[in-house]
């Protein structure tokens, strides 16, 4: 990858899925002034996978991290991070999104950073393919 006339070679840490958020937050183009102890970050799809790893890394740098997901947040995360807040929300439901907005406005006032990580999958069987 070339950035500002410098060549950055992969460090190899991206081979491990759980290290990916740390790599993202340590890239040369990352603006550290965005995150502060006063920042509130909303991560959709943050109860598992990449979203959870991002939420954990962001919780070390931001004041509040709000996780919105269909799946509940693992209990161990709630114990480990006092500044991660969970709201159940199906991002494919407009009513859930409106309810999430009201709850966040009431409980946290505003959101400074939004990470739309949630995915909506429509899985269908493949039909027979005839030549």
Q: List the chain domain ranges.
A: 10-116
Q: Taking the model in full, what pTM does it have?
A: 0.69
Beta bridge partners of 2: 7
* Spatial distance between the Cα atoms of 46 and 35, rounded to a whole number of angstroms: 18
Pairing of strands 84-88, 64-69: parallel
Taking only the tens place, the pLDDT of each residue in 6-55 is: 444 444 444 445 555 555 555 555 566 667 778 899 999 999 999 999 99
Instruction: Tell the CATH topology of 10-116.
Output: Rossmann fold (3.40.50)
* Spatial distance between the Cα atoms of 54 and 17, rounded to a whole number of angstroms: 11
Beta bridge partners of 5: none
Most confident of 21-25, 78-82, 119-123: 78-82
* pLDDT range class, residue 124, cuts 50, 70, 90: confident
């Amino acid at each position: 990858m070339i950035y500002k006339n410098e060549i950055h070679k992969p460090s190899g840490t991206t081979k491990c899925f759980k290290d990916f958020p740390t790599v993202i937050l340590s890239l040369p183009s990352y603006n550290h002034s965005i995150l502060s102890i006063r920042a509130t970050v909303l991560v959709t799809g943050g109860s598992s996978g990449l979203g959870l790893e991002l939420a954990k890394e962001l919780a070390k740098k931001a004041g509040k991290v709000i996780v919105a997901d269909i799946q509940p947040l693992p209990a161990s995360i709630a114990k480990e991070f006092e500044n991660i807040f969970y709201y159940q929300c199906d991002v494919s439901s407009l009513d859930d999104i409106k309810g999430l907005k009201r709850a966040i406005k009431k409980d946290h006032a505003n959101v400074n950073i939004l990470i739309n990580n949630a995915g909506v999958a429509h899985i269908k069987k493949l039909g027979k393919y005839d030549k």
